[in-house]
Structure 1
Amino acid sequence: MAFQVENVDWMRGKNRLTQLRERVFVLEWRLPREAEFDEHDVSAFHVLISNEHNEPIATGRLTQDGEIGRIAVRRAYRSSHLYQMLFSALVGIAKFKGIAVVQVNCDLDSVDYHSKLGFTPAGPVFMEAGIPRQRMACPVTQFIVPDVLHMH
């Protein structure tokens, strides 16, 4: 399968990014739509991966302060290879933009797992869409793609 990886800004990719994120987060995971889209979308760096039919199949974003998030991958395409492509693109943007530390928000069950990958807790536990989460930080030069099971 041939995939196309694009760096897109919100204004150029909004329709495709919104469609994919709604499909994964709102329809599949049943998260509230209002929790999915925020003020960071406009200024964030977005990666969009499409399949051979130019259908969006994966996306993620990197905020200006280094938070990697909004990782949405259609169920049929969830594989280590695709996640590697997505995270490599996001980390590449971070390095290019001079962002030294990247952050991810993970479920509390994944804190120990992320710690073993070199992440450290950054701040207190917080609630996101009714789910307790922990922000974890890692130097961009030491970033390792988490296992697919810890992403979805």
Structure 2
Amino acid sequence: MKSATEIREGDWATLGTQASEIRRLVFIEEQRVPREEEWDGLDDQSTHFLAVLDGVAIGTARLLPDGHIGRVAVLPVHRGAGIGVALMEAAIAAARRQGFARVELAAQTHALAFYERLGFLPQGETFMEAGIPHRNMVRRFDD
């Protein structure tokens, strides 16, 4: 029997230890994002999401107080299994509950199609962040 992934929602005090390890592995180690850019001081004020499979944290995302979703990361061995979609759906649902009319994010350009499938539309030009090309994207809530 295949285990289901659980998405947990909480604050940094609750989910930060596990989320920070995933972000360290994906962003700092794998993608070579400088530590000082990854740890931007916004985690304490954000809503965090943690994907957990069989008691092990395998993915994370955060929702900033201004409606930006970011720090979406899934451990390499678990990519392609819908974990990122589940994290994004949880973050989008939280943004709706918090009363936002839209959510925004800065997508790494290789992930544009992933976010477009979730209803996000690209905005503006490509820009560099942490040495990686990004593009801003927006999803408006019509209801």
For the aligned pair, the TM-score class normalised by the smaller chain equals: 0.7 to 0.9
TM-score (norm 1): 0.79
Contact 2:120 2:137 in 1 (8 A): no
Contact 1:94 1:140 in 2 (8 A): no
* Percent sequence identity over aligned pairs: 30
CA apart distance, 1:134: 2.4
Partner of 1:22: 24
Residue 46 (structure 2) aligned to one of 23, 26, 44: 44
Partner of 1:93: 94
Q: Judging changes above 3 Å, is the alpha-carbon distance between structure 1 residues 114 and 72 closer, same or farther for their aligned structure 2 residues?
A: closer
Contact 1:60 1:71 in 2 (8 A): yes
Contact 2:72 2:84 in 1 (8 A): no
Q: Judging changes above 3 Å, is the alpha-carbon distance between structure 1 residues 43 and 113 closer, same or farther for their aligned structure 2 residues?
A: closer
Measured against aligned partners, the alpha-carbon deviations of 1:95-137 in whole angstroms (never above 9, x if no partner) come to: 1000111111124566688678551416x65431123422222
Measured against aligned partners, the alpha-carbon deviations of 1:69-99 in whole angstroms (never above 9, x if no partner) come to: 1011011111252222111111110110001
Contact 2:6 2:52 in 1 (8 A): yes
Contact 2:7 2:50 in 1 (8 A): yes
How many residue pairs end up in the alignment?
A: 140
DSSP 3-state at the match of 2:82:
helix
Unaligned runs of 5+ in 1: 143-152
CA apart distance, 1:20: 1.1
Q: Judging changes above 3 Å, is the alpha-carbon distance between structure 1 residues 37 and 140 closer, same or farther for their aligned structure 2 residues?
A: farther
Comparing 105-114 with 86-95, greater Cα deviation is found at 105-114
CA apart distance, 1:140: 3.5
TM-score (norm 2): 0.83
Between structures 1 and 2, the one with greater strand share = 2
Unaligned runs of 5+ in 2: none
